[in-house]
Every structure is written in C-alpha cells, then in structure tokens.
Amino acid sequence: MNETPGLIVLKPVFHNNIWGGRRLEQFGYEIPDGPVGECWGISAHPHGDCEVVGGPFDGMTLSQLWDEHHELFEGAKGDRFPLLIKILDAYDDLSIQVHPDDAYACEHENGSLGKHECWYVLDCHEQGHIIVGQHAHSREEFAQMVKENRWYDMENFVPIQKGDFFDIKPGTVHAILGATLILETQQSSDVTYRVYDYDRKQADGTLRELHLEKAMDVIDYDAQAPTSGKVTAPEVDGVTKLMSCKYFDVLRVRVDKDDPRILAQDHPFMCLSVVEGEGGTITTAAGTWQVRKGSHLVAPFGCGDLRLEGDMTLICSYV
C-alpha cells in the first residue's frame, strides 16, 4: 500500500422493492430486473456490503477494510463502519414508518444501531410532497387515529422541490412519496417500523408486516413537524453544510468545470457520492480518479486534500 492511501471506489448493491422503479439506470448502473428502489452506494451493513473496485484492496468489502485495515479510518470509533449512503427511487409511495434511536434498537433489535437519517432531494414531481412528522400528541391519540384510519389527518405533508433537504431524526414518522428520487445519508442500520402500507399486496399476495407497537414506543410525539425543506445555509466556495449531528455532518459540494474546488479531508474518513453533472476527476497526493454521476467513493484517513475538477455536484459526509 502507498504511504499515502488512495481513494476507495465502491461497487453499489441494489435492492428490489415493492415501491421501486427503474430510474437508477439514469446513473449508469446495471440494475436487476423488476422494481428497484435502493442503491446502497457506500455500505458495510450485512444486508448490503459494498465491494472495493480497483486499487490494493480490490475485491474486499468495506466491512473487511473496517476490521482488517482500520488505519484507513483512524480515529473512527465503534465496532462497524458507521454510515450508509443510499440513492432511493420511489416510483410508488414508501410505507409510513419510523426508526428507533440507538438505545431502543440495541435492546430490541439484537444490538443494531438506531437510524438517524437525512434526505437530499435529487428529483421529484412538480407538485411533489413527502411526509415528515405527524399530528398526534400522545400514544393514545396516535393509536385512536390509526384505529379510525385517519391517516390524512395524522400525517404532515410537506411540498418538495429538487435540492430540498430534510433531517429525519429517530422517532420521526415519515414516508417518501411516489415520483421522488433521494440521496439518503444515515447510520448503518436497516431497522424500520412500518406504521401503514396502504394495504397493498406483495407479489405472493401477502401484506408486508406492520410494527405498530414498536412504532408507538419510539415516536416522538413532541417533535415539531417541518413546513419546508428549503436549504437556507450559505454556500461558500461551492460548499454548503446541510446538517451536523452527533452521528454525521453532510455537505453539498458544487463544482464548475471552470472553477476547481479544494475540499479538505481531515476526518477519519469522508463519503463522496456524485449525484449530478457530467462528472470529472478527484485528485489526491496518491493519484487521480475519474468519477461520474453515480460514483461512490470513500476518502480514507490521511489521504490529504481533494482537488475536484469537472462539472458535478457531490453529497459528502463524515463522522
């Protein structure tokens, strides 16, 4: 291995979903047949562990790198790679759902992490909406509204447009609705409690499982529901900090072909996903990598600053 580590290029993992479509092909991916809802672009989770493409670690999984070459993530804590980066193609509505925090997930889901996530809207219908938050003020009120099928009264619908951003904390009832394409940054967890799934049937004629009791355990009934996802944070030299929490920070980085960017990488690692544009190059002290829309990479500890050139928008995150 070079004294200065190079970028880690990852091969995405795809999942078929009842609500998925075919728009992930727009990123140049070869996706499975049928409705495909999820591209796990950067993941070391057992349900989708991405393989390294090229370089000295070619063919290894991200979880193997975390366990066997932790010097690449020096300073990062925990027993697993902590983040999971997805692109979601919601051709149809996702279920109305909620995620637990670390404490509840650890106790009730075999030691899993909780799931704090956030969404960057890549594309949506002109009159698009999503659900973030709900209007019941207690478990009892929520249960009564469920019993009476008062979903429209309960859920908080928010209009969306391309470029919006939403912080989805554990305990937040939410649903991505149809015709929406989203980049999701989240803790490395696959725990979802479905509240309602529109009584739709799977291919085998069965209904998907609901998890109402656990959902009502973890819902934050005091959370204030948002009215907009408009990004108000300033853009400085092409970089906008979309959010910061105890699990991750998320940046949007815009690069113009006539104006290269230098992005500091002084973290244990940085996740990089190219989500718009024609692509370009990322150069470090160890070399230059060609990237395009749909590329997912990890910039490891000690790789140095990143020089970004081309026409592209990236979503970047770090712990």
User: Which residues belong to CATH 2.60.120.10 in the chain?
Assistant: 8-218, 235-318
Model's pTM, two decimal places? 0.97
Compute the distance between CA of residue 318 and CA of residue 298 in angstroms, rounded to an integer.
10
- Residue 307: the pLDDT is 98
CA 153 to CA 244: how far, in whole Å? 31
Residues known to be catalytic: 194
The answer to whether domain 8-218 has CATH 2.60.120.10 is: yes
Residue 1 has pLDDT above 50, yes or no: no
pLDDT tens, residue by residue, 244-281: 999 999 999 999 999 999 999 999 999 999 999 999 99
Contact 309, 255 (CB under 8 A): yes
Written as six digits, the tokens of 188 are 């490395």
User: What is the rounded CA–CA span in Å between residue 92 and residue 201?
Assistant: 13
Asked if 24 contacts 1 with a C-beta cutoff of 8 angstroms, the reply is: no
Instruction: Report the C-alpha gap between 128 and 91 in whole angstroms.
Output: 12
Give 294-304 pLDDT, tens digit per residue.
999 999 999 99
Residue 132 has pLDDT above 90, yes or no: yes
Q: Is the pLDDT assigned to residue 212 strictly greater than 90?
A: yes
Percent of the chain with pLDDT over 90: 99
- Decide if pLDDT at 2 tops 60: no
- Could you read off the pLDDT of 166-211 as tens digits, one per residue? 999 999 999 999 999 999 999 999 999 999 999 999 989 999 999 9
Structure confidence at residue 90 (pLDDT):
98
- Separation between Cα atoms, residue 184 and residue 190, nearest integer Å: 13
Architecture of domain 235-318: Sandwich (2.60)
Q: In this predicted structure, what is the pLDDT of residue 64?
A: 98
Overall average pLDDT of the 69-88 stretch: 97
* Predicted confidence band of residue 220 (pLDDT cuts 50, 70, 90): very high
- Cβ atoms within 10 A of the Cβ of 97, count? 21
Instruction: Please give the Cα distance from 170 to 128 (Å, whole number).
Output: 24
Q: Report the mean per-residue pLDDT for the chain.
A: 97
Written as one letter, the residue type at 173 is V
12, pLDDT greater than 80 = yes
Question: What SS3 class is residue 147?
Answer: helix
What is the average pLDDT across 98-112? 98
Per DSSP, the three-state class of 62 is helix
